[in-house]
């Protein structure tokens, strides 16, 4: 039986007033209008419910035309006749009959490291990898072991595991809070009011006691935080004058988003809402430099340092690009307003990976850093098997439902850092399925080498969408952030797993 704990029972009324929570609970989703388009794209359109005009005349909220209806009814999706399939964006079938619903691997090129072609593949793998490795067996059934309900006062936006203390997870939320939770002791948690607005990323920093981490937030600050005491200090403030009534607006207010930390270089890279990336060393007051890596006016949605080659940085943005940059080309301070410094910056970009829509994240594979994985809101996870191919089309495009138009944290596929083959990936699913009469949004465990679905993690008590997920770096634990709560999943016992395999023939092994 899973152990649940509720953090703030008295906040019940507060909680249900939030728009996204209500929408998540009742499953009324309306596809199509994206929230996050690049500057040149159409402004986001949000419609809430189907209108009925006159005597029962229907107006479709997907295409805006009258005479029909479309959208989710529970877990079933009614297609708009004027639009392609909501999942794969292709025509010729409905969303409910989309072949990718049961086989996301359809049409995928297989990774060359997938040993499905006998002795030659085994020999090639041995040559490439140099030694025999145990093949990691994926778990096919996961159960919620513990949960902390309403840990946050608003929806969870990011998660990070402690680098050395196995049972500690740190999470951020829409209000700017940072929470620390011990998922083995369940009731042990702290919540700090670190930021004034949405905490976008949390990353741990090298420190003697392991308590230092930093957060990037929509209030435009990058802060160093002590998770033991909650004390924090500002490393960067993009809006030092604060919000000035009548002067400040959405264009002048600068927000901080994608953020990565290089432990090897002792460096922080933090992207903003203007397409720029700040490079900082926490021992010095001012940033080292700032580079316009992405198109002006577009959010930098993620920043990731290469795990082995400390000269490489990978960023993603609302400008529909993921970019690989060479840190050796960084130059001396180029902060606006610094005297005597030239404004000409050398190109640090190596490759740009174009996408058809906004890229939510781009990550190097966690062990060798040889692969790149991006999550794009065109419902595709893209994987490049080697960095050398990063200027070519992706080796694999996996169709997966993560496009949405609600107030949710953008979905990001995450690598499982324990998988030395660098194949297992975790991502929350937007579209729901009917599981015994209940509409659930599973968290998917997938094989990035083949595109196959390995496991769908679901629990009848968890009916909200889980956009934020992180696999543990050392243990078989996955934490999901859903609404204001956190859930810790662990693999089912072998007996329970067998039961599941007998009832779910479609699940890949």
Please identify, using beta-carbon distances, which residue of 88 and 477 lies nearer to Zn ion. 88
Q: Which stretch binds Zn ion (CB under 5 A): 83-91, 128-136, 215-223, 485-493?
A: 83-91
In the block, tokens 């083949």 appear at 450
CB of 81 to Zn ion, least distance (A): 6
Select from 88, 180, 303, 413 the one that contacts Zn ion (CB under 5 A): 88
State phi, psi for 344 to the nearest 5 degrees: -80, 120
CB of 75 to Zn ion, least distance (A): 16
What 3-state DSSP class applies to 93? coil
Select from 31, 38, 71, 87 the one that contacts Zn ion (CB under 5 A): 87
Please identify, using beta-carbon distances, which residue of 64 and 333 lies nearer to Zn ion. 64
CB of 86 to Zn ion, least distance (A): 8
CB of 98 to Zn ion, least distance (A): 3
Q: Which stretch binds Zn ion (CB under 5 A): 75-83, 205-213, 270-278, 434-442?
A: 75-83
Given a contact cutoff of 8 angstroms between Cβ atoms, the answer to whether 101 and 87 are in contact is yes
CB of 106 to Zn ion, least distance (A): 10
**Residue 493 gets which letter from DSSP?**
P
Q: Interface residues for Zn ion in 47-66 (CB under 5 A)?
A: 60, 62-63
Round to whole Å and give the CA distance between 162 and 168.
6
Round to whole Å and give the CA distance between 29 and 49.
9
Contact string 182-221 vs Zn ion (x = CB under 5 A)? ----------------------------------------
CB of 494 to Zn ion, least distance (A): 35
**Residue 35 gets which letter from DSSP?**
S
Please identify, using beta-carbon distances, which residue of 84 and 297 lies nearer to Zn ion. 84
**Residue 66 gets which letter from DSSP?**
B
Please identify, using beta-carbon distances, which residue of 80 and 277 lies nearer to Zn ion. 80
Select from 98, 180, 376, 383 the one that contacts Zn ion (CB under 5 A): 98
CB of 404 to Zn ion, least distance (A): 16
Q: Give the angle 28-33-39 at the CA atoms, nearest 5°.
A: 145
Structure token digits, residue 256: 């901080």
CB of 502 to Zn ion, least distance (A): 29
b/e per residue, 66-81, with b = 16+ CB within 10 A?
eebbbbbeebebbbbe
Q: Tell whether residue 431 is a contact of Zn ion (CB under 5 A).
A: no
Residues 6+ apart with CB under 8 A from 391: 351, 353
Select from 7, 29, 31, 80 the one that contacts Zn ion (CB under 5 A): 80
Please identify, using beta-carbon distances, which residue of 86 and 181 lies nearer to Zn ion. 86
103, 106, 112, 117 alpha-carbon torsion, rounded to 10°: 80
CB of 140 to Zn ion, least distance (A): 25
Please identify, using beta-carbon distances, which residue of 97 and 292 lies nearer to Zn ion. 97
Q: Catalogue the E-assigned strands of 27-70.
A: 51-53, 57-59
Please identify, using beta-carbon distances, which residue of 88 and 198 lies nearer to Zn ion. 88
CA dihedral over 145, 148, 152, 154, signed as positive or negative: positive
Please identify, using beta-carbon distances, which residue of 98 and 255 lies nearer to Zn ion. 98
Binding residues for Zn ion, total number by CB under 5 A: 10
User: Percentage helix, strand, coil, to 5, in the chain?
Assistant: 10, 35, 55
Give Dmax over CA atoms of the chain in angstroms.
72
Please identify, using beta-carbon distances, which residue of 83 and 184 lies nearer to Zn ion. 83
Please identify, using beta-carbon distances, which residue of 98 and 387 lies nearer to Zn ion. 98
CB of 462 to Zn ion, least distance (A): 26
Select from 15, 23, 85, 191 the one that contacts Zn ion (CB under 5 A): 85
Q: Interface residues for Zn ion in 326-345 (CB under 5 A)?
A: none
CB of 69 to Zn ion, least distance (A): 8
DSSP assignment of 303-356: EEE-SS-TTEEEEEETTSEEEEEEGGG--S---TT-TT--------EEEEEE-S
Between the alpha carbon of residue 247 and those of residues 134, 145, 221, the distances in Å are 61, 50, 19
Please identify, using beta-carbon distances, which residue of 313 and 427 lies nearer to Zn ion. 427
Binding site for Zn ion (CB under 5 A): 60, 62-63, 70, 80, 82, 85, 87-88, 98
């Amino acid at each position: 039986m899973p152990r649940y704990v509720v953090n703030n029972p008295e906040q019940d009324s507060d909680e249900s007033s939030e728009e996204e929570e209500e929408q998540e609970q009742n499953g009324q989703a309306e596809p199509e209008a994206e929230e996050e388009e690049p500057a040149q794209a159409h402004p986001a359109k949000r419609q809430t419910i189907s209108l009925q005009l006159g005597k029962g005349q229907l107006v479709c909220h997907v295409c805006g035309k009258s005479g029909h209806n479309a959208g989710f009814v529970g877990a079933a999706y009614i297609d708009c006749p004027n639009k392609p399939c909501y999942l794969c964006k292709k025509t010729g079938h409905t969303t409910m009959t989309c072949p990718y619903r049961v086989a996301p691997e359809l049409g995928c090129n297989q990774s060359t490291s997938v040993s499905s072609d006998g002795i030659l593949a085994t020999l090639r793998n041995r040559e490439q990898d140099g030694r025999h490795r145990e093949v990691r067996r994926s778990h096919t059934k996961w159960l919620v072991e513990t949960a902390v309900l309403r840990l946050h006062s608003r929806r969870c936006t990011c998660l990070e595991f402690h680098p050395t203390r196995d049972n500690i997870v740190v999470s951020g939320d829409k209000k700017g809070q940072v929470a620390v939770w011990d998922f083995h002791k369940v009731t042990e948690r702290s919540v700090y009011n670190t930021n004034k607005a949405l905490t976008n990323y949390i990353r741990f920093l090298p420190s003697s006691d392991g308590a230092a981490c930093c957060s990037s937030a929509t209030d435009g600050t990058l802060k160093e935080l002590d998770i033991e005491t909650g004390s924090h200090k500002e490393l960067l403030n993009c809006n030092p004058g604060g919000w000035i009534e009548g002067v400040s607006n959405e264009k002048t207010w600068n927000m901080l988003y994608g953020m990565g930390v290089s432990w090897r270089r002792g460096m922080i890279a933090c992207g903003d809402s203007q397409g720029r990336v700040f490079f900082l060393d926490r021992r010095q007051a001012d940033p080292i430099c700032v580079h316009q890596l992405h198109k002006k006016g577009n959010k930098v949605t993620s920043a990731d340092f290469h795990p082995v080659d400390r000269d490489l940085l990978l960023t993603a943005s609302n400008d529909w690009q993921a970019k690989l940059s060479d840190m050796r080309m960084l130059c001396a301070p180029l902060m606006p307003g610094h005297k005597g410094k030239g404004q000409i910056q050398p190109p640090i970009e190596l490759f740009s990976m174009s996408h058809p829509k906004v890229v939510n994240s781009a990550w190097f594979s966690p062990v060798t850093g040889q692969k790149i994985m991006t999550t794009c809101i065109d419902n595709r996870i893209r994987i490049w098997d080697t960095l050398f191919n990063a200027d070519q089309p992706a080796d694999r495009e996996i169709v997966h439902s993560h496009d949405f138009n609600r107030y949710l944290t953008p979905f990001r596929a995450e690598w499982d850092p324990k998988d030395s083959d660098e194949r297992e990936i975790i991502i929350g699913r937007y579209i729901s399925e009917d599981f015994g009469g209940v509409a659930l949004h599973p968290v998917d465990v997938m094989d990035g080498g083949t595109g196959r679905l390995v496991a769908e993690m679901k629990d009848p008590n968890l009916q909200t969408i889980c956009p934020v997920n992180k696999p543990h770096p050392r243990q078989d634990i996955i934490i999901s952030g859903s609404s204001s709560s956190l859930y810790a999943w662990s693999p089912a016992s072998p007996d329970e797993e067998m039961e599941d395999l007998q009832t779910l023939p479609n699940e890949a092994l």
